[in-house]
Structure 1
Amino acid sequence: MDLETKKINSANASVNAKLLLKDLESKLNKVATKISKTLKLDGFRKGKVPLNIIKTRYKDNIEQDAQKEAVEEILQAALKELGIDSKDVIGDPIITKFDKKDDFIDLEIKISLKPELKLDAVPLCIPDVKLKEIEEKQIKERLEEIAKAKAPLIEAKKEKELAENDIANINFEGFINGEAFEGGKAENFDLTIGSGQFIPGFEKALIGLKSGEEKEIHVTFPESYQAENLAGKPAIFKVKLNKIQVKDKTKIDEEFIKSLLPEEKNPSIELLNKKIKEQLALEEKTKLYNEELKEQLIENLDKKIHFDLPDLIIEQEMDLLFRNSLNILDPKELEELKSDPKKAQEKRESFREDAKKSVKITFIVDALAKQENISVEDNEVFQTIYYESMMNRQNPKDVIEYYKQNNMLPAIKMAMVEDKILAHLLDKKFEETSKTKSSKEATTPESPSSKTQKSVKKPKPKAE
């Protein structure tokens, strides 16, 4: 075996080898012999089928197995020569050259390795976490929202007109081309106006009706409607408003406070306001993280941490991004890519920078997860999928099965790990900033002289 190895950088290596055909022939015989021991063919006893018959009948399979074994031997020899442990190899090595000559096969193999990266610059990448102070006005508004949400429903007066957020109790029946359709009829149905529960235009058309009134509503089902027999079709709904229900006013009294703080020994409005303030602060922080700081942190990690990236993994990520992009292309552009390989290659190449960034961040997150001892358990993944499925009115079991069949669970788990790591780093920064701020406020009180200077008025100049 003629072997030449090259360590391109810390994440990539290449192997050039000449596989002699005589060596490959011995492997062919070895594979064929192994098959013959268990093979049954008409006219021959088990284990007595001649090798030449086996090699002829199963030629392609035997060649593949023999070549695979030969390539594996080349790889092991190359890793030994390079001083690389097999556990540091990422993914499957790719054969980029396989040229058959007269007495040998010319091979080139690319290998990707776990990159070497340092996390020293991570603290410099974490943006400052500056939260707005929660105002008393916000606390009061939230308390009123809670009181309104907990308020019991009461029937509105007959003269009241239906408005946004009211609950309309209705009878309705839908017709397409003058014929009633299945699933388009109900009685005493409670519909919150503005909830978006019905197709666009339906709820808005009810606004202004009074109890006992009837109306015909003309709407069109969306093109993307789940029932194909209704999608995109105009319909008429005959509707009767039976009654209007509204939220009663709730007093924020002692009983109400106790209902919100059932586990507290001494519930009070002060304690309730404190807890509301804490919740508002948490919501403010979460919003800031998700809408601004997490993305800023990712950008900083990408710019300030540098290391070699495995080429084969980048190519795989490019393939993934390219395939995903095909799902959202218009039919005309998709047909152009199918008919023009050059354009398809250019489209795929356009994802190279995004692929590099994605691979880079994945390795950084993985290293940080190990350093910070942060992980996501499988049950957390399933709980998240279950919750999101319920929110989207999907069957959680069907969604989980779909993710399993398409091997998407590892990607979801990695995304959750990334989110957890980013939040953890931002939390640490927030805690450090808060401690520093508190320390400064405690150790640098205003000096008496400065107070005096602030309180003294400058004398007015005398008129000459």
Structure 2
Amino acid sequence: MSLVSDVKTDVNMREVTFSISAEDLEKACERVYQRQKKDIAVKGFRKGKVPRKMVEKLYGEDVFFEDAVNMIIPGELDAIIREKEIIIIDRPSVELVSCTKEDGAVCKAVLITKPEVTVGEYKGIHAPMKVREVTDDDVNQQIEMLRQRQARVVDVDDRAAQLGDEVKINFEGFIDDEAFEGGKGEDYPLRLGSGQFIPGFEDQIVGKNIGEKFDVSVTFPEEYGDDRYAGKAAVFKTELLGITMQELPEVDDELAKDISEFDTIDELREDIKKNLTQTAEQQAQTRFENAIFDAVVDATDAVIPQVLFDRRIDQRIREFEGQLQQQYGDLKLNEYLQLTGMTLEQLRDEYEPQAKKEVTLRLALEKIADLEDIQVSDDELEEALQEFAASMQAPIEFVKARIPVEDYRTDMRVTKVVELIKNNAVVDNDMAEAETAEAPAEEAAAEEAPAAE
């Protein structure tokens, strides 16, 4: 192999031209022939016994060139990339420029390289960390949720239906006195006030008693999903079959004993407040860290190839597919898209902004690791891999054979950078107060601004 040229053709693009000697080409052609000869059949010869010269005479001396060059290219190109210390981020595009028996071959490879990144200030970043105060209302909401879980469903037969009740109804819908498709239900359960039906439907059941038959008059919304019915008036012939309600337990010590390890409701309240406070502190810490790394991204300058964003989007979609199967059994991505009326391109578009932020942040963190000369020793790497293998309940050799170990080392370097940035960040709650003050002012300005003609 001989490097002919190495030219930077554009941002993150290099064009490498290299040659393959006639001797190396001949050796590769012979290896290709030896692999393929068992399948070569020519009249007058037994299958697998056709001499190479006969094959080349019949099909041309270049018959084995393409496979021979393809056999050589990966090793030759890899050697050039290592020698020139080029970091590529996608599969090279290789073109065969020329190939003859006498002169060998000349190939041209287009390489997409890792972006050159310039980072801004990453030490001493200011960000707010306001912890939301937990109020009595927050605690009461949690207790109400616990009450709801302990609710008993009881039949109601001594009063009319009320909002919050669950009723059972028969109904059939008519438009212009004609029954329409999908407008009929029997023994249908409906919680009044849930908004499950067309606006106005549930309100007209309130005040009715079991056994009553009545008409419910409504109008389908203009934006209704089925164009056949959108904006049209309909009448539903309805019968109220039954009413049930939830009976909630009292908020007292007995409730605390039933649903927790505590003996009194005051102890339960105190524990709920403590847990809510811990959650609020964790959320504040998360917002603080997000603000820090958003600042790192905003201060990063790089021209990033789309292939890196596409790769991250692909990863996100694979993760989403896994979540679908975990939560909904055998639900496939294409089935989810059909159910939601979304296309794959629309889903990719939804993921793209976050993918761009994540890729930019990763490149910035790797650049900072270089600037700070942050390294991971072989001993640190080995210890981390041992812990990872133990968590997987797998032998360390198995783990090393199946993960890119140097990529794992890079992940560890990035983790060190994350801690460096967090440890040097400055809590500045004046920023939060300034943002809070700016928001009403911006809203007021927007309200006062004249409308464009």
Fold-level match, TM-score > 0.5?
A: yes
Match of 1:170? 169
Match of 2:75? 73
Task: Name the CA shift for 1:72/1:141 in 2 (closer, same or farther; >3 Å).
Answer: closer
Residues 384-423 of structure 1 aligned to structure 2 (within 5 Å): none
The answer to whether the 8 A contact 1:139-1:273 is kept is yes
For 1:142, the aligned partner's letter is Q
The answer to whether the 8 A contact 1:168-1:243 is kept is yes
Write the distance in 2 (CA, Å) between the matches of 1:53 and 1:178.
Answer: 83
2:206 equivalent to 1:208:
yes
For 1:233, the aligned partner's letter is R
For 1:303, the aligned partner's letter is D
Task: Name the CA shift for 1:124/1:80 in 2 (closer, same or farther; >3 Å).
Answer: same
Write the distance in 1 (CA, Å) between the matches of 2:388 and 2:208.
Answer: 53
Measured after TM superposition, the shift of residue 81 of structure 1 is 2.4
Write the distance in 1 (CA, Å) between the matches of 2:128 and 2:216.
Answer: 57
Write the distance in 1 (CA, Å) between the matches of 2:133 and 2:352.
Answer: 42
Task: Name the CA shift for 1:249/1:31 in 2 (closer, same or farther; >3 Å).
Answer: same
For this pair of structures, how many residues does the alignment match? 345
Match of 1:259? 258
Measured after TM superposition, the shift of residue 192 of structure 1 is 1.8
After superposition, give the CA deviation of every residue in 1:37-86 in whole Å (9 maximum; x if it has no partner).
Answer: 321526332321243665666999954432322322331331342257xx
Match of 1:455? none
- Secondary structure of 2:298's partner? helix
Measured after TM superposition, the shift of residue 33 of structure 1 is 1.0
- Secondary structure of 2:239's partner? strand
Measured after TM superposition, the shift of residue 243 of structure 1 is 3.1
For 1:79, the aligned partner's letter is I
Match of 2:52? 51
Match of 1:280? 276
Write the distance in 2 (CA, Å) between the matches of 1:247 and 1:119.
Answer: 58
Match of 1:458? none
- Secondary structure of 1:190's partner? strand
Residues 120-131 of structure 1 aligned to structure 2 (within 5 Å): 121=122, 124=124, 127-131=127-131
Match of 1:134? 134
For 1:147, the aligned partner's letter is R
Match of 2:39? 39
Task: Name the CA shift for 1:65/1:294 in 2 (closer, same or farther; >3 Å).
Answer: farther
The answer to whether the 8 A contact 2:38-2:47 is kept is yes
Question: What percentage of aligned pairs have identical amino acids?
Answer: 20
Residues 107-118 of structure 1 aligned to structure 2 (within 5 Å): 107-110=108-111, 112=113
Measured after TM superposition, the shift of residue 256 of structure 1 is 1.1
Task: Name the CA shift for 1:238/1:118 in 2 (closer, same or farther; >3 Å).
Answer: same
Write the distance in 2 (CA, Å) between the matches of 1:27 and 1:259.
Answer: 82
The answer to whether the 8 A contact 1:168-1:191 is kept is yes
Match of 1:186? 186
Write the distance in 2 (CA, Å) between the matches of 1:219 and 1:286.
Answer: 47
- Secondary structure of 2:251's partner? coil
- Secondary structure of 2:272's partner? helix
Write the distance in 2 (CA, Å) between the matches of 1:352 and 1:280.
Answer: 33
After superposition, give the CA deviation of every residue in 1:79-126 in whole Å (9 maximum; x if it has no partner).
Answer: 342257xxx65442334x6544896535143153599999994x7458
Write the distance in 2 (CA, Å) between the matches of 1:239 and 1:131.
Answer: 51
- Secondary structure of 2:167's partner? strand
The answer to whether the 8 A contact 1:156-1:244 is kept is yes
After superposition, give the CA deviation of every residue in 1:310-364 in whole Å (9 maximum; x if it has no partner).
Answer: 758447559979xx998349xxxxxxxxxxxxxxxxxx9xx99987644222456
Match of 1:296? 291
Write the distance in 2 (CA, Å) between the matches of 1:147 and 1:318.
Answer: 43
After superposition, give the CA deviation of every residue in 1:147-200 in whole Å (9 maximum; x if it has no partner).
Answer: 24533233446543432x33122223456884575794321x3222344545x4
Match of 1:343? none
Write the distance in 2 (CA, Å) between the matches of 1:236 and 1:41.
Answer: 79
The alignment's TM-score, normalised by the length of structure 1, stands at: 0.55
Q: Which has the higher contact order (CA 8 A, sep 6+)?
A: 2
2:345 corresponds, among 314, 327, 339, to 327
The answer to whether the 8 A contact 1:36-1:48 is kept is no
Write the distance in 1 (CA, Å) between the matches of 2:63 and 2:183.
Answer: 57
Which ranges in structure 2 are unaligned for 5 or more consecutive residues? Answer: 316-341, 393-410, 428-453
Write the distance in 2 (CA, Å) between the matches of 1:376 and 1:259.
Answer: 41
Write the distance in 2 (CA, Å) between the matches of 1:149 and 1:203.
Answer: 28
The answer to whether the 8 A contact 1:5-1:16 is kept is yes
Measured after TM superposition, the shift of residue 272 of structure 1 is 0.3
Write the distance in 2 (CA, Å) between the matches of 1:353 and 1:205.
Answer: 42
2:17 equivalent to 1:17:
yes
Write the distance in 2 (CA, Å) between the matches of 1:35 and 1:255.
Answer: 82
Write the distance in 2 (CA, Å) between the matches of 1:173 and 1:376.
Answer: 61
Write the distance in 1 (CA, Å) between the matches of 2:303 and 2:138.
Answer: 48
Measured after TM superposition, the shift of residue 22 of structure 1 is 3.8
Task: Name the CA shift for 1:233/1:253 in 2 (closer, same or farther; >3 Å).
Answer: same
Measured after TM superposition, the shift of residue 211 of structure 1 is 2.1
- Secondary structure of 1:191's partner? strand
For 1:68, the aligned partner's letter is N
The answer to whether the 8 A contact 2:216-2:236 is kept is yes
What's the C-alpha RMSD, in Å, of the aligned pairs?
A: 5.5
Match of 1:385? none
1:269 corresponds, among 265, 275, 280, to 265
Match of 2:247? 248
The alignment's TM-score, normalised by the length of structure 2, stands at: 0.56
For 2:138, the aligned partner's letter is Q
The answer to whether the 8 A contact 1:302-1:357 is kept is yes
Write the distance in 2 (CA, Å) between the matches of 1:33 and 1:109.
Answer: 29
After superposition, give the CA deviation of every residue in 1:201-247 in whole Å (9 maximum; x if it has no partner).
Answer: 3754545341233334556599996xxxxx44337643222233333
For 1:151, the aligned partner's letter is A
For 1:67, the aligned partner's letter is V
Write the distance in 2 (CA, Å) between the matches of 1:69 and 1:170.
Answer: 73
The answer to whether the 8 A contact 2:309-2:359 is kept is no
The answer to whether the 8 A contact 2:5-2:18 is kept is no
The answer to whether the 8 A contact 1:224-1:232 is kept is yes
Write the distance in 1 (CA, Å) between the matches of 2:222 and 2:52.
Answer: 67
